[in-house]
Amino acid sequence: MRTQVGIVGAGPAGLLLSHLLHRHGIESIVVEARSREYVENRIRAGVLEQPVEQLLMDTGVGDRMLAEGMVHEGVLLRNNRLDHRIDFRALTGKHVRVYSQHKVVQDLIAARLGDNGQIVFEAADVAVHDLDTTAPRISFTQDGQAQEIRCDVIAGCDGFHGICRDAIPPSHLTHYERDYPFAWLGILAEAEPASRELVYASHDRGFSLLSMRSPTVSRLYLQCALQEDLANWSDDRIWSELSIRLGRGGFALNEGPIIQRGITAMRSFVVEPMQYGRMFLAGDAAHIVPPTGAKGLNLAAADVTVLTRALAAFYRTGSRDGLDAYSATCLRRVWRAQRFSWWLTSLLHRFHDHTPFERRAQIAELDALFSSKAQSTALAEVYVGLPLIL
């Protein structure tokens, strides 16, 4: 097989890149190790920044998002004593939209197949070759048959555990990472959300978050030990702990059947540069943020926007300037999002080695945020979304 851009990974980054390239008349083939059913039903968070929402609308894949997604014009921050609403609309004139990531993936797959795009599902033994030449290759096996895609460029969109980043010589990369000493226990419950907007709660017992997937399905999280055993958390214990951490001033959760539960480790990770030869990393293959700031999907969208613009210029004029600057361009936004996610995580969570002084200082920082329009505006500006290309 021959194409212009070979894409490894059919997550949001790879599918959106293929969709955007198609709109510029650039051919691509997406190679994915998992089945279509698995990819389309892999549940992930879905808070879309306004620039990403606009991108999906402008490129023809936003109809279902507009019909089913929930517009949020603020979030509520809560500590033991006070509530403070960050009013996105008043502070920035913008909003975010809650729309599950798996639905974004479904919409993009439908668009690509509707445009006769090529997506190879259930590809085994995927590997990339000749990255430092002008003719890189992707090899894989499908239905027991060896296959190869020859291309001009490879996009590594295969996530943190994918094969693309590991194919780059280690001496070429610098890793920046932080593993947090706690995790999130998350549940999906058939219960009407108890708040119209997300509630971030900093409590002496640990962080908790009230989110949602729809008007009838709640998504809730609570901070737990890194090595927590999920078997120790009965439904009653989960609801009790969430009620303690989120409850204040008469606020009560709506409980219902828990249909999904899991524990998520918290990590910050960036690799530099995000490119090697003719291969360009995008999304989780290049960076991971803790979910506190809801930036993962949005960063992936920004990466592929930058890459699409660079590839469009390359095929239109032959200029490599955009491709050569890809990593530096993306990393400006990546590090802004990393700083925000690290700051919000550090502000709201309890650390096992916190001294009483450090906990009091943490509460004082929250109080300062609550009382300062300037600080609230700074939070809102990043939460609703920086421009996709800085």
Q: Do the Cβ atoms of 121 and 32 come closer than 8 Å?
A: yes
Q: Which residues are catalytic?
A: 72, 200, 291, 295, 383
**Sequence-separated (6 or more) residues with CB below 8 Å from residue 266:** 179, 180, 182, 183, 184, 290, 291, 292, 345
Same domain, 208 and 257: yes
Same domain, 137 and 218: no
Full residue range of the structural domain in which residue 226 is found: 177-266
The answer as to whether 189 is a domain residue is yes
Split into its structural domains, the chain has a count of 2
What is the three-class DSSP state of 329? helix
Same domain, 3 and 124: yes
Q: What is the pLDDT of residue 212?
A: 92
Same domain, 169 and 195: no
- Assign residue 155 the CATH number of its domain: 3.50.50.60
Q: Is the dihedral of CA 303, 308, 310, 311 positive or negative?
A: positive
307-313-318-323 Cα dihedral, nearest 10 degrees? -30
User: At 303, phi and psi to the nearest 5?
Assistant: -55, -50
The answer as to whether 139 is a domain residue is yes
Task: Output the pTM of the full model.
Answer: 0.96
Please identify every stretch of the chain with a pLDDT value under 50, giving residue numbers as ranges: none
Single residue among 266, 300, 324 that ends a domain in this structure: 266
- Assign residue 184 the CATH number of its domain: 3.30.9.10
At 350, which amino acid appears? R
Interval 68-85: pLDDT, tens: 999 999 999 998 778 899
Q: What is the pLDDT of residue 92?
A: 98
What is the three-class DSSP state of 253? coil
Query: In whole angstroms, how far apart are CA 215 and each of 87, 112, 143, 218?
Result: 21, 29, 42, 8
Q: What is the pLDDT of residue 340?
A: 97
Which residue carries 């000493």 as its tokens?
A: 181
Q: What is the pLDDT of residue 57?
A: 98
The answer as to whether 207 is a domain residue is yes
Q: What is the pLDDT of residue 250?
A: 77
